[in-house]
């Protein structure tokens, strides 16, 4: 068989049913082989980065390994951001790249780059295949590495002569991964120690991260938290791991998270971190994070132990096994179960102080939070949502309550603008039965706007609700709150002194409905509050790709907000507490 045909057969053997792939000179043999494949659908993105995010959307929606492919040189380089993004969020992905002929490697051949070396910091492993006979073994190993332990991306770089070589493949070749650790499992003694800490606590909180979602451990977490009536606060990656509307639960916490979640973690005397990494957007200034809490950190990745926050007990374990075992060990406890009702009542008071939806200032026109809340109400919360990156990304979980795993899909560790649309395409391919909506901003949406063509050509009816405020909103917010309102290239409108918006529809630029029509998308623009929900209904009912542009107030701020270098004690919960009030566009005189 030809090497490229072997690659296709190996992917079929791994159960791959879709590959997001852009062709080029050093990958043409692979595409030629895919053209003859019967079991794998190849989706052509309009940019390699888009293909990488599509593979991520597929993986995030299913838990399976997403597969993307590009040619050498610039094609491979365009995958780098998507690979790094998957690495930051622990997403299982295999990226295949074509490479120049083996004898040209290192000689600055046309479209040659060292993608093997360049990806080393942002992959679990990189393979450069120099012997075609190794392909079956390497592809098996790549999928094992991508899924095992803490998931992540793997690169396979395949020179053109390896793709073209004729040989007899050994599809029964065994993986050889002597350095791959076995699944870590907590000892009963370690887990009994965790239970002892719970029985001794007065104010415990479970801090649940994306590891719960990756391990498919949501059911176990829910049972364990209910068994002891322990409140659960999730990270953004962990959203949907438990029902946020359950009385004891805290939804998500961190820089823009709930007041109750941040306050509970701050006041806790026991913090149990499960499948999380103590990201800076969670902790704020580390020295003030959960200062009175005994911290227990259980994670599948030993490297995360004591990396960002010093903990009392680090437990190296796969989290689903640990939760299952904790439930079993709890049956043998003879001591009286702890009573945390007073703690839950205290949390309830904080929730009443700062209830959902989060702090809002009444506006004359549609605000972004109002638009997202309307989508939640019209859809009854029964859709899958991706986002771009920016203010809308934070407003989405603030105003759309996600109650199940893999329902909220966003670039969180890397925070990559342009993620929303291609990720939505990947999600829709994985879950064709679901309505998939990308909630995006005009800045982020333009980063990969070309993938509108992919949605049409591949008949993938994704929906985009684009909140158009004519600004790079999150940076604008920091300018207002920290940099005295000085604008440093954050205005996207035609006239920076008079941005387009509800008061100036004629000044809007670019004309997104015209662009959408050019791509053969159904489209609509709304700017009146009374038109919003009917437009959302039409979008959700459509059987075609659909862009709903919502013109929103341009000077809105995401609150709550824990400023950088601060702790939950310094949380700004509403406009009245904002330090930029005297210069604020919303509450005070116009800023500079």
Q: Give the model's pLDDT for residue 480.
A: 86
Q: Are 546 and 461 in contact (CB under 8 A)?
A: yes
The helix (run of H) or strand (run of E) holding residue 4 is: helix 3-13
Q: Give the model's pLDDT for residue 61.
A: 98
**Burial class, 292, CB count within 10 angstroms (exposed 0-12 / middle 13-18 / buried 19+):** exposed
Residues 324 and 411 in one domain: no
**Cα–Cα dist 172/315, whole Å:** 37
| Residue 175 maps to a domain | no
Q: Are 185 and 23 in contact (CB under 8 A)?
A: no
Residues 6+ apart with CB under 8 A from 134: none
Residues 450 and 490 in one domain: yes
Q: Give the model's pLDDT for residue 447.
A: 97
Residues 495 and 459 in one domain: yes
Residue ranges for the chain with pLDDT beneath 50 = 586-592
Q: Give the model's pLDDT for residue 583.
A: 54
CA 512 to chain centroid, in Å, comes to: 26
Q: Give the model's pLDDT for residue 581.
A: 53
């997104």: which residue's tokens?
A: 512
Active site residues: 48, 110-111, 160, 474
Q: Residue 42 belongs to what domain range?
A: 3-164
| Residue 295 maps to a domain | yes
Of the candidates 292, 327, 353, which is a domain's last residue? 353
| Residue 109 maps to a domain | yes
Q: Give the model's pLDDT for residue 580.
A: 58
How is the chain split among helix, strand and coil, in percent rounded to 5?
Answer: 40, 15, 45
**Cα–Cα dist 30/14, whole Å:** 17
Q: Give the model's pLDDT for residue 590.
A: 33
Residues 212 and 69 in one domain: no
Write the secondary structure of 20-41 as one string of H (helix), E (strand) and C (coil): EECCCCCCHHHHHHHCCCCCCE
Residues 110 and 231 in one domain: no
| Residue 363 maps to a domain | no
Residues 88 and 33 in one domain: yes
* CA atoms within a 13 Å half-sphere pointing along the CA-CB vector of 99: 26
What tokens appear for 591 in the block?
A: 């800023």
Maximal CA-CA distance, the chain:
76
Residues 271 and 139 in one domain: no
Q: Give the model's pLDDT for residue 494.
A: 77
CATH code (residue 274): 3.40.50.1220
Q: How far is CA 140 from CA 34, 63, 352, 438, in A?
A: 18, 17, 53, 33
CB atoms within 10 A of CB 240: 21
Of the candidates 318, 353, 388, which is a domain's last residue? 353
pLDDT tens digits, one per residue of 522-533:
999 999 999 999
Residues 120 and 193 in one domain: no
Q: What is the dihedral of CA 382, 387, 392, 397, to 10 degrees?
A: 40
| Residue 478 maps to a domain | yes
Query: What is the count of structural domains for the chain?
Result: 3
| Residue 591 maps to a domain | no
CA 517 to chain centroid, in Å, comes to: 29
Of the candidates 311, 330, 353, which is a domain's last residue? 353
CATH code (residue 528): 3.40.50.970
Q: Give the model's pLDDT for residue 566.
A: 87
């Amino acid at each position: 068989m030809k090497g490229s045909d072997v690659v296709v057969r190996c992917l079929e053997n791994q159960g791959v049913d879709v590959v997001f792939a852009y062709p080029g000179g050093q990958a043409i043999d692979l595409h030629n082989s895919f053209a003859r494949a019967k079991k794998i659908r190849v989706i052509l993105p309009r940019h390699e980065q888009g293909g990488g995010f599509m593979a991520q959307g597929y993986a995030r929606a299913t838990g399976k390994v997403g597969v993307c492919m590009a040619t050498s040189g610039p094609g491979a380089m365009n995958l780098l951001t998507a690979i790094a993004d998957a690495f930051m969020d622990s997403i299982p992905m295999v990226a295949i790249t074509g490479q120049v002929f083996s004898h040209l490697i290192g000689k600055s051949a046309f479209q040659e780059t060292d993608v093997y070396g360049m990806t080393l910091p942002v992959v679990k492993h990189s393979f450069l295949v120099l012997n075609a006979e190794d392909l079956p073994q390497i592809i098996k190993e790549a999928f094992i590495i991508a899924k095992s332990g803490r998931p992540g991306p793997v690169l396979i770089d395949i020179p053109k002569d390896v793709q073209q070589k004729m040989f007899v493949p050994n599809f029964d070749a065994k993986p050889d991964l002597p350095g791959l650790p076995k699944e870590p499992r907590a000892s009963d003694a370690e887990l009994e120690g965790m239970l002892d800490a719970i029985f001794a606590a007065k104010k415990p909180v479970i801090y649940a991260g994306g590891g719960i979602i990756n391990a498919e451990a949501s059911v176990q977490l829910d049972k364990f938290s209910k068994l002891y009536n322990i409140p659960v606060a999730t990270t953004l990656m962990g959203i949907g791991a438990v029902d946020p509307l359950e009385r004891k639960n805290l939804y998500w916490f961190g820089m823009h998270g709930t007041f109750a979640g941040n306050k509970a973690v701050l006041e806790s005397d026991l913090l149990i971190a499960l499948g999380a990494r103590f990201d800076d957007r969670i902790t704020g200034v580390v020295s003030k994070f959960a200062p009175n809490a005994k911290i227990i950190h259980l994670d599948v990745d030993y490297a995360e132990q004591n990396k960002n926050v010093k903990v009392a007990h680090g437990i190296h374990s796969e989290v689903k096994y640990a939760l299952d075992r904790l439930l079993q060990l709890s049956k043998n406890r003879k001591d009286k179960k702890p009573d945390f009702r007073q703690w839950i009542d205290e949390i309830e008071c904080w929730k009443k102080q700062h209830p959902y939806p989060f702090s809002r200032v009444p506006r004359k026109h549609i605000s972004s939070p109002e638009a997202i809340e309307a989508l939640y109400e019209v859809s009854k919360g029964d859709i899958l949502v991706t986002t771009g990156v920016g203010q809308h990304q934070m407003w989405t979980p603030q105003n759309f309550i996600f109650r199940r795993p893999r329902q909220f899909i966003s670039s969180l560790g890397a925070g990559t603008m342009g993620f929303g649309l291609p990720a939505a395409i990947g999600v829709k391919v994985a879950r064709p039965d679901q309505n998939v909506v990308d909630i995006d901003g005009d800045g982020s949406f333009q980063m990969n706007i070309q993938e509108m063509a992919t949605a049409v050509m591949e008949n993938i009816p994704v929906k985009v609700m684009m909140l158009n405020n004519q600004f790079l909103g999150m940076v604008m917010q920091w300018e207002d709150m920290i940099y005295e309102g000085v604008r440093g290239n954050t205005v996207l409108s035609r006239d920076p002194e008079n941005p387009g918006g509800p008061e100036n529809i004629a000044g809007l630029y670019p004309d997104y409905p015209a662009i959408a029509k050019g791509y053969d998308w159904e489209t609509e623009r709304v700017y009146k509050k009374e038109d919003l929900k009917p437009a959302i209904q039409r979008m959700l009912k459509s059987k075609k790709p659909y862009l709903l542009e919502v013109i929103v107030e341009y000077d809105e701020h995401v609150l709550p907000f824990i400023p950088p270098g601060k702790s939950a004690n310094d949380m700004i919960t509403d406009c009245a507490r904002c330090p930029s009030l005297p210069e604020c566009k919303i509450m005070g005189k116009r800023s500079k």
